[in-house]
Amino acid sequence: MHSKAMILIGLCIGLSGAAFAEGSPFRSTVRGLTIGNAHVVGGNSRAQIIRGSAPLGKADELARFGVDEVLIIKNETRNEVQREISELVAAGIPRSSIKHIPYRYVDLESFSVACRQTIDALRFILTAQSRGRTVFYHCTAGEDRTGLVSALIRMLTQRVSTSDAFKGEMCENGFEAGNRNKPRQVVAAIRQELTPLFLHLAMKIRDGSLSLRRLDYSACGAEPEVAEAVVQRYRCQTSSRFRAR
């Protein structure tokens, strides 16, 4: 297990690399959006579920596209969350339609907190869609926290298997080593903390204790013991969509 000091050192080393610091290398696949790593996850033509990276400087684009609700799933580090909220409101998206969940991607406060935050994110997204509202959600690069939530949405709404959700929705859009620019220390920390969280919640979906009708905190009890052999099977290779900068 990595100590907090090792993780922090890894982050400092990794974030000094220009390629990683520039953000996600994955381009938008949503017509009308140039925000990095933007992709449709579900919904319909009337109310879409769209993932992406932080839209700093592009709030007007979201408003023109017709986004009704925005979910920010990241912790505040350099006042960028407050800056984004201000930009979204200035673009015409009501403050009441913007939710911020201070979700970390490494050095998680606890399994229970991260699990509850994930449930909160799923509730917000799926409730907005059920009400006929288009929702855009993101972390920073739209790869790790965003990827985990997106995979669970696919499993809940489209009955995608755990393996297919992990490979297709997470790895292909930059989760851990899916983005080859990501420092190995960050990849290791994500595998240690976010991957077991995903596998636990995926198991809850498979056994029916987490569903569209039952999105509650009962899935967030004791921290799960995920066998190392299982975690080893869920490791990303470089995405086929990766574009070197």
Give mean pLDDT in consecutive 10-residue pieces for the chain, a chain of 245 residues.
Answer: 36 38 82 96 92 96 97 93 97 98 90 96 97 97 97 97 98 97 94 94 93 93 79 94 73
In this predicted structure, what is the pLDDT of residue 245? 52
- Write down all domains in the chain, each with its CATH number in brackets: 29-233 (3.90.190.10)
In this predicted structure, what is the pLDDT of residue 23? 67
Query: What are the start-end ranges of the E strands in the chain?
Result: 39-43, 48-52, 69-73, 98-101, 135-138
The closest of 4, 3, 75, 62 to 28, measured between CA atoms, is: 62
In this predicted structure, what is the pLDDT of residue 186? 94
Strands 135-138 and 69-73, by their bridges, are parallel
| 165 vs 229: CA distance, rounded Å | 19
